[in-house]
Amino acid sequence: MECLTHFRLLYLLLVLSIAMSASMTEDLGTYIIHMDKSTMPMTFSSHHDWYLSMLSSMSSSDGEHPTHLYTYNHVLDGFSAVLSREHLDQLEKMPGFLAIHADTFGRFHTTRSPRFLGLDKNAGSWPEGKFGEDVIIGIIDTGIWPESESFKDKGMGPVPDRWRGACESGVEFNSSYCNRKLIGARSFSKGLKQQGLIISTPDDYDSPRDFYGHGTHTASTAAGSPVRDANYFGYAKGTAIGIAPKARLAAYKVLFINDTDASAASDTLAGMDQAIADGVDLMSLSLGFEETTFEQNPIAVGAFAAIEKGIFVSCSAGNSGPEGYTMFNGAPWITTIGAGTIDRDYAADVTFGGGILTIRGRSVYPENLLISNVSLYFGHGNRSKELCEDFALDPKDVAGKIVFCYFNQSGGVSQVREVDRAGAKGAIISSDSEIFIFPSFFIIPLVVVTPKDGDLVKDYIIKSENPVVDVKFLITVLGSKPAPQVASFSSRGPNNMAPMILKPDVLAPGVNILAAWAPKFALTWVGENGLLTDYILLSGTSMSSPHAVGVAALLKSAHPDWSPAAIRSALMTTAYVLDNTVGSIIDMDTGVAATPLDFGAGHINPNMAMDPGLIYDIEVQDYINFLCGLNYTSKQIKIISRRSKFTCDQANLDLNYPSFIVLLNNNTNTTSYTFRRVLTNVVNSPSVYRASVKQPSGMKVNVQPSMVSFAGKYSKAEFNMTVEINLEYARPQSEYIGNFGYLTWWEVNGTHVVKSPIVSAFAL
């Protein structure tokens, strides 16, 4: 509420300022003036001079003169100025005048992913979840850059009494750097040191300070404070804000820049252990270890201990897609997050021949460079030059020119470097490859156009005696479609270690996410020059996990009694599977509809997750029974559960999970499997639900009972779902996925909808 009060105060001050100005001067205003450039007198060398001449000729009774603000060269023909009513009357009578509009003030834009998730300060999960107030998120990562504006604690109350953590001093890090937002910071490097990996400046800081920036980025994504005018070299300009902006942050540094850029398992476990001891409510880990049985995986082991304490654990799914069975962090007690795009893109406008052809392409080139009337080069007739292959371009041919290339499947970075090596001014590459979503590719003035537009460019070059081009960079496109899409790099399920659990669980924003950065590490380069910045665009499932943990923090704040499994269930059963064109979510790699093995239950929907109606809850003992079902030995289970006494009398691979997957064997034609589930009502009233099934192709699904009733909050109801699959008709979509559909529980005379995917997959 302090934030809202602050904005109201600013508004009152603004109104007061305007009123005082009006009492002292004539009613001046800012206006945008549209002009007909074709009527410009020949005596002026430029339209800018013409506009200035018009303004200087104006007068008013009190002697006030107009003030020129901007001359527009691309977005419109005209200018903006501060004018009085008398000035307006004079301007409207001048030759060439077309129209005038009063300047308007737009609402603040965020770094987009909160808005894309539907977060609104006035309604939905932000106010209902109290913006994550006093919930503590532990970020297990590369540390923190505490001076970032994203970690300011303005308006935050005292640190919760239950917090037991500390802020450690170390290399270039002092305990005083912590505050009421960043309430803890610790570093764990003993394991790396023991392996001979020395950690010291300038390679990294042996302290909680973030050298690389990754931990700063993930922390600010999850719970960063509002920061106005954040941007990436002019792109994505707006107010950066975390998903749970009033949550507290604790940073645990376990990743260091060294010869392996890795984290020792011992250090990671120490960090997770300390986070549990300190009293975090949630953890996010945007890292992964080689997939092994769970007792050998430090994250799986640490996460089991965390969920026993009621701590929700979110982990990145990995960046090894788009192939199947590439999933990391697939333990069923972890909430595993895949990466999707948001409805924001970055562009450049390319104009050919002085206006013959204009195309909008993708670009994240980080300079407001003026490219005007520059010659174009295309190696027409020489395929090697058309593809800009290594050492294909002759510097004598391309120096100072923009080179047009067709994408080479083995190229990308190598093509960009070849253009740079040859001394060209920049490049236009025709490609639909998703690799060009990464800003790190744009080390030269580069625009990527679609193959369809690329053909238009080629046709223009071939038919023109002197092909030339203009390029306008630094364009941010909002509302781009379709979105979300599953990022090609996002790891796909099933998970090798437990393929009978559908993974990933959900999809969250993970492509070109703007968040805070360590300003001493240059990830962006132009030529040989590293560019430093406080905010940067990054892509990866590393970015999607903090989005999910931020939403989970909102749910935890609103429902403090919910278990980690309950929170995950709410995220899954309310997720959506349609994009902003109302079509199926697309797989960026294939360009066709994605499947639950790509996006899990769907894309997270915070506002719906706040009130899911029903949940699929899971007890710790259920996970132990699951490990028994995997035929884990007593030793393996003890390592994970830390229990000296347990039995496997109720071994069971059918966890009470909010999704369903049937593993198929190509040696059989027909298979049948029955899932047993328990639903829990989380609404303060009785309710009745009816089941409906979107039958997957080649499958017959039967739900019994098809109607369930609940007496009140936390009452339960059981059901069985039998799936029969005829492999003769259930043809696989790929080498590992069969078909999929959905089970949906509809509230009778109510609004709640509880949806779960049903998918078949072929076992490796």
Q: How far apart are CA 595 and CA 605, in angstroms?
A: 18
Q: Name the percent of the chain in helix, strand, coil, to the closest 5.
A: 25, 30, 45
Q: Which of 80, 84, 125, 141 is catalytic?
A: 141
Q: What is the mean pLDDT of the segment spanning 481-493?
A: 95
**How high does pLDDT run on average in the chain?**
89
Whether residue 712 is found in the same domain as residue 601: no
Q: Which of 113, 125, 488, 542 is catalytic?
A: 542
Q: How far apart are CA 617 and CA 380, in angstroms?
A: 63
Whether residue 575 is found in the same domain as residue 588: yes
- Residue 48 CB-density burial (10 A; 0-12 exposed, 13-18 middle, 19+ buried): middle
pLDDT of residue 696: 86
- The CATH number for 669's domain is 2.60.40.2310
Q: Is 107 among the domain residues? A: no
Q: Which of 214, 217, 559, 752 is catalytic?
A: 214
| Residue 30 scores a pLDDT above 80 | no
| Residue 201 scores a pLDDT above 70 | no
Q: Select the highest-mean-pLDDT range: 308-317, 318-327, 634-643.
A: 308-317
Instruction: Reduce the DSSP state of residue 306 to 3 states and report it.
Output: helix
Q: How far apart are CA 50 and CA 69, in angstroms?
A: 14
pLDDT of residue 105: 35
Q: Is 569 a catalytic residue?
A: no
* Higher pLDDT, residue 340 or 27: 340
Q: Give the E-state strand segments of 532-642 in sequence order.
A: 535-538, 586-587, 614-615
Whether residue 374 is found in the same domain as residue 319: no
Tell me how many domains the chain contains: 4
Whether residue 175 is found in the same domain as residue 281: yes
pLDDT of residue 16: 33
- The CATH number for 603's domain is 3.40.50.200
Tokens found for residue 105: 């003030």
The fraction of the chain above a pLDDT of 90, given in percent, is: 67
459-474 residue pLDDT tens: 999 999 999 999 999 9
Indicate the residue among 102, 124, 152 that finishes a domain: 102
Q: Is 141 a catalytic residue?
A: yes
Q: Which amino acid, one-letter code, is at 46?
A: S
pLDDT of residue 370: 87
* Higher pLDDT, residue 352 or 699: 352
* Higher pLDDT, residue 650 or 73: 650
Q: Is 647 among the domain residues? A: no
pLDDT of residue 76: 56
Q: Give the E-state strand segments of 317-401 in sequence order.
A: 335-340, 344-352, 357-362, 371-377
Q: ∠ CA(69), CA(24), CA(91), 5° rounding?
A: 40
Q: Is 637 among the domain residues? A: no
Whether residue 139 is found in the same domain as residue 159: yes
| Residue 579 scores a pLDDT above 60 | yes
| Residue 397 scores a pLDDT above 90 | yes
pLDDT of residue 664: 82
| Residue 640 scores a pLDDT above 80 | yes
Residue 192 Ramachandran class (φ > 0 left, ψ -120 to 50 alpha, else beta): alpha
Prediction pTM value? 0.84
Q: Which residues fall within 8 angstroms of residue 104, CB to CB, at 6 or more apart?
A: none
Lowest-confidence region among 133-142, 379-388, 501-510? 379-388
Q: pLDDT-based confidence at 12, cuts 50/70/90?
A: very low
Whether residue 179 is found in the same domain as residue 292: yes
* Higher pLDDT, residue 25 or 615: 615
| Residue 103 scores a pLDDT above 70 | no
Q: pLDDT-based confidence at 440, cuts 50/70/90?
A: confident
pLDDT of residue 731: 52
pLDDT of residue 20: 38
Whether residue 434 is found in the same domain as residue 503: no
Indicate the residue among 67, 82, 102 that finishes a domain: 102
Q: Which residues fall within 8 angstroms of residue 284, CB to CB, at 6 or more apart?
A: 137, 138, 139, 140, 141, 218, 222, 313, 314, 315, 545, 546, 548, 549
Whether residue 405 is found in the same domain as residue 451: yes
Q: Is 542 a catalytic residue?
A: yes
352-371 residue pLDDT tens: 998 999 999 999 999 988 89
Q: ∠ CA(697), CA(698), CA(702), 5° rounding?
A: 90
Q: Is 651 among the domain residues? A: no
Q: Is 616 among the domain residues? A: no
**Within the chain, what is the greatest distance between any pair of CA atoms?**
96
Whether residue 554 is found in the same domain as residue 587: yes
Q: Is 271 among the domain residues? A: yes
Whether residue 530 is found in the same domain as residue 582: yes
Q: pLDDT-based confidence at 108, cuts 50/70/90?
A: very low
* Higher pLDDT, residue 191 or 252: 252
Q: Is 625 among the domain residues? A: no
| Residue 253 scores a pLDDT above 80 | yes
Whether residue 420 is found in the same domain as residue 508: no
Instruction: Reduce the DSSP state of residue 41 to 3 states and report it.
Output: coil
| Residue 349 scores a pLDDT above 80 | yes
139-165 residue pLDDT tens: 999 999 999 999 999 999 999 999 999
Q: What is the mean pLDDT of the segment spanning 430-434?
A: 86
Whether residue 361 is found in the same domain as residue 468: yes
| Residue 613 scores a pLDDT above 50 | yes
Instruction: Enumerate the β-bridge partners of residue 740.
Output: 759
Range of the domain at 195: 113-342+485-609
- The CATH number for 77's domain is 3.30.70.80
Indicate the residue among 477, 508, 543 that finishes a domain: 477
